[in-house]
């Protein structure tokens, strides 16, 4: 049975699934199976980002020629997590707005999704100042593009968790412990 949306009523198996990266990939794969490749943007209801329903999701216009990618739409929670303005600056490359620690992640995620023409999962840890470590999870999903197009839309999700402060000697042990635990967001809900 194909799902046309991600609501609990149409997808009962997703009710217990709280990891957004897995939900968005499952949704993308369902739409891709109907289109025979990366689904078109019209297959998704991006208005769900602006009303808070898809708070950690984004839509990026990826410039495949010069790599100047720009956010088109962001979920309500994403600007806070990525220290972005509440509304993305349309047409302005996101490298100017993203914190340095996440620029490579977003550029690489978009590039890999375009090259593979399939979802790309990314997760890891980045260090902030004063021993604070962030764990993140992201998914980048290419949408259908015209042949030889200079841009392609990338649909995705991003979330992170701030870990406790660690010192150099403890960093490896702490990160190793976190990777195996059930990661929770700042509001106590399971992350992604």
Rg (CA), the chain: 17
Query: From the centroid of its chain, how far is CA 135?
Result: 13
Those residues of the chain that have pLDDT short of 50 are 1-18, 183-192
Residues 171-177: contacts with CB within 8 Å, 24+ apart? 171/131, 171/133, 174/133, 175/125, 175/133, 175/135
Residue 177's contacts (CB-CB under 8 Å, 6 or more residues apart) are: none
Nearest-angstrom CA–CA distance, 81 and 147: 34
Whether 144 contacts 41, CB under 8 Å: yes
pTM for this one?
0.74
- Sorted by where each starts, the structural domains of the chain and their CATH numbers stand as 12-122+138-160 (3.30.450)
């Amino acid at each position: 049975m194909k799902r046309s949306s991600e609501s609990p009523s149409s997808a009962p198996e997703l009710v217990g699934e709280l990891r957004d990266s897995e939900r968005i990939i499952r949704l993308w794969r369902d739409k891709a199976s109907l289109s025979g490749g990366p689904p078109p943007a019209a297959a998704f209801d991006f208005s769900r980002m602006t009303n808070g329903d898809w708070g950690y999701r984004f839509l990026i216009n990826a410039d495949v020629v010069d790599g100047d990618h720009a956010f088109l739409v962001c979920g309500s929670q994403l600007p806070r997590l990525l220290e972005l303005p509440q509304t993305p600056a349309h047409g302005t490359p996101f490298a100017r707005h993203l914190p340095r620690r996440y620029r490579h992640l977003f550029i690489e995620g978009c590039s890999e999704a375009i090259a593979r023409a399939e979802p790309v999962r990314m997760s890891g840890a980045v260090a902030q100042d004063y021993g604070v470590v962030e764990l993140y999870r992201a998914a980048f999903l290419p949408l259908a593009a015209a042949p030889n197009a200079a841009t392609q839309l990338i649909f995705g999700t991003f979330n992170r968790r701030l870990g406790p402060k660690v010192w150099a000697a403890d960093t490896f042990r702490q990160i190793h412990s976190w990777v195996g635990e059930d990661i929770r967001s700042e509001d106590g809900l399971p992350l992604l």
